[in-house]
Amino acid sequence: MQPTNTTPTGTLTLQTITMPADTNPFGDIFGGWLMAQMDIAGAIHANEVSLGRVTTVAVGSMVFIRPVPVGAVISCYTSTLRIGTTSIRVKVEVWIKDFLTHHISQVTEGEYVYVAIDEQGHKRPVIKPT
């Protein structure tokens, strides 16, 4: 699978470093760990868009482009794809930077869907910007 972009799109929402504890038996970062970071970034974005609490309801169109090495700084970029009555669809791209060459490369992307919820955990309307 080839990346869809040559530079990140969206807003830088989360950065973290990959650690040895997050690896699979082959020494690369677990896809599940990466998906969790993406979910955190997507939720931060959806919280800001919805002006309140959200919960993850779906993950779709997940694409892993290349393995992520230990020690890489991952950067999660987010953008709104769609705002519904109670939901927000967010695209999350993950990029890494090679510290020797300064080359950045996309390692994965996915779409996450969040639903805005109230204090009791019930769906609530998304407050759309005017």
Q: What is the CATH number of the domain that holds 93?
A: 3.10.129.10
Whether the per-residue pLDDT at 1 is higher than 60: the answer is no
Residue 89 counted as domain residue: yes
The answer to whether position 91 is within a domain reads yes
**Total domains, the chain:** 1
Structural domain includes residue 1 = no
| pLDDT at 130 > cutoff 90 | no
Domain extent for 27: 11-116
β-strands 73-83, 54-64 pairing: unpaired
Q: Give the Cα separation of 43 and 113 in Å (integer).
A: 9
Q: What is the pLDDT of residues 89-98, one digit of tens each?
A: 999 999 998 7
Q: Tell me the C-alpha distance between 130 and 118, whole Å.
A: 21
Residue 5 located in a structural domain: no
Q: Is residue 54 one of the residues assigned to a domain?
A: yes
**Tokens describing residue 4:** 């869809």
| Residue 130 within a domain | no
Read out DSSP for 27-83?
SBBPHHHHHHHHHHHHHHHHHHHHTS-EEEEEEEEEEE-S--BTTPEEEEEEEEEEE
Residue 76 belongs to some domain of the structure: yes
* pLDDT one-digit tens code per residue, 65-123: 999 999 999 999 999 999 999 999 999 999 998 777 888 999 999 999 999 999 999 99
Cα(47)–Cα(34) distance, rounded to whole angstroms? 20
